[in-house]
Amino acid sequence: MNSYFFLFSHSLLPERLSWIEECLKFFFVQLAPETLMHQKTTGSTVFTFFITGDALYCLEDPETLQIWNIILSFSPVRIVCDRKELDLRGIGIGPLRMKFPDQVIDVNSSGADGKPSFWKDLAAASRQTKAPLPGTAGWLQTESPYMYRSADNGIMFLSSALDERLSAEIYAYLDGVHIGHHCQKPTDSVNIGEGLGALTDKAAAKKLGFSGIGCSRSAAARGYSTWDDGQGQVISTCTVTGFRIRQINSLIERFVSPHIILSSDAGVLPFHKLGSGHSYDRAEKASKAPPVTILITKSPYSTGTAAGAISFAVASAHAGILTRVIFIEDGVYALTGNHRVQQGS
């Protein structure tokens, strides 16, 4: 089975969901019409959308619900909801469940503690080899740890990955580097620094690997003290154990590897070697590393997100990774108008 899956945790507005709808239509009608056959085969394609956080609201909003009805009319599409987050937000998806009972899943598998775990389901989907063969799962963190839930989500995902016998890695970029600062003492939320320490201990107990890497440029801009030991190693005196600050090339190297890397909103498409699979792009067929596609959704100057995404894309392409950048939503403002920087500014 060819499994394509996506994780959404931020709000899914009609514009983005409509874009997903059109992409799926193109795939099913133009690229792989055989996947719409009612009788599934061993090589059948399945699209799974894992939905948590604020993205769950799109399942009850009348405008986005209409789009989901179209998307779910394709039988290979599934939705896996975070039951805990549904209950927390008081979101009811009964009508959608009644209409698509086999495609909308709102009950999660049991985790290591015996409780239902959405992240267990996601980690299981991230396993590329049959258990107990080893593997790796990664998480790219770009948001600060306490203003946003994504850092906590990343730790829960990687903890579940370790339970799946997958080594765990977390990569911190932009504001994400704050996850590795020592002496974190939140009073009303999970301690992310301690969470990283727990991942280190859990990996050691299971004889698996865990590593945390922060981008040195992002860290320097935010006041993290570092020094070079003379051997090209960037050392920091203000990070938690197991978290290292390195040049961006060290992060990019992990994207050359074939293991699955997720973030707060991300998608995973199978990488077919030797020109196999559903692809009409010759460059993609010739690529030896999994391609990277970055969708820029933010305006170019109000935050550092768009500039950071472009810098990441340049580093990725420089490392020989087939890299695509797509400007959508407010990201299109980077391509319109005559952008001029005043002299001396």
Contact 324, 194 (CB under 8 A): no
Contact 120, 108 (CB under 8 A): yes
Q: Could you tell me the CA-to-CA distances from 178 to 5, 201, 269, 302 in Å, in that order?
A: 28, 20, 29, 20
pLDDT of residue 231: 73
Residue 181 β-bridge partners: 239
Q: Tell me where in the chain the CATH 3.40.1260.10 domain(s) lie.
A: 127-270, 274-345
Distance between CA 47 and CA 258 in Å, rounded?
20
Residue 132: asked if its preceding bond is cis (omega within 30°), the reply is yes
The architecture (CATH level 2) of 1-107 comes to 3-Layer(aba) Sandwich (3.40)
Distance between CA 323 and CA 293 in Å, rounded?
6
Distance between CA 132 and CA 24 in Å, rounded?
33
Q: Which fold has domain 127-270?
A: Hypothetical Protein Ychn; Chain: A, (3.40.1260)
Contact 2, 46 (CB under 8 A): yes
pLDDT of residue 45: 67
Distance between CA 188 and CA 267 in Å, rounded?
31
Distance between CA 152 and CA 189 in Å, rounded?
9
H or E element, residue 269? none
Per-residue pLDDT of the chain (345 residues; tens, 9 = 90+): 568 999 999 999 999 999 999 999 999 988 888 777 655 555 566 899 999 999 999 999 999 999 999 999 999 999 999 999 999 999 999 999 999 999 999 999 999 899 999 999 999 999 887 777 789 999 999 999 999 999 999 999 999 999 999 999 999 999 999 999 999 999 999 999 999 999 999 999 999 999 999 999 999 999 998 887 777 777 788 999 889 999 999 999 999 998 999 999 999 987 555 445 555 565 566 667 899 999 999 999 999 999 999 999 999 999 999 999 999 999 999 999 999 988 876
Q: Could you tell me the CA-to-CA distances from 162 to 137, 152, 259, 345 in Å, in that order?
A: 9, 16, 14, 48
Pairing of strands 260-262, 226-228: unpaired
Distance between CA 258 and CA 272 in Å, rounded?
11
The residues, any chain, with a CB within 8 Å of residue 309's CB and separated by 6 or more, are 294, 296, 325
Contact 203, 165 (CB under 8 A): no
What does DSSP assign to residue 108? Answer: P
E strand intervals along the chain: 2-8, 45-51, 77-81, 104-105, 135-141, 166-172, 210-215, 226-228, 234-236, 243-246, 260-262, 266-268, 292-296, 323-327
Query: Can you tell me which residue has the tokens 């993609």?
Result: 284
pLDDT of residue 42: 53
Q: Which fold has domain 274-345?
A: Hypothetical Protein Ychn; Chain: A, (3.40.1260)
Enter the pTM of the model.
0.92
pLDDT of residue 270: 75
pLDDT of residue 274: 46
pLDDT of residue 226: 80
Handedness of CA 275, 281, 283, 289 (dihedral sign): negative
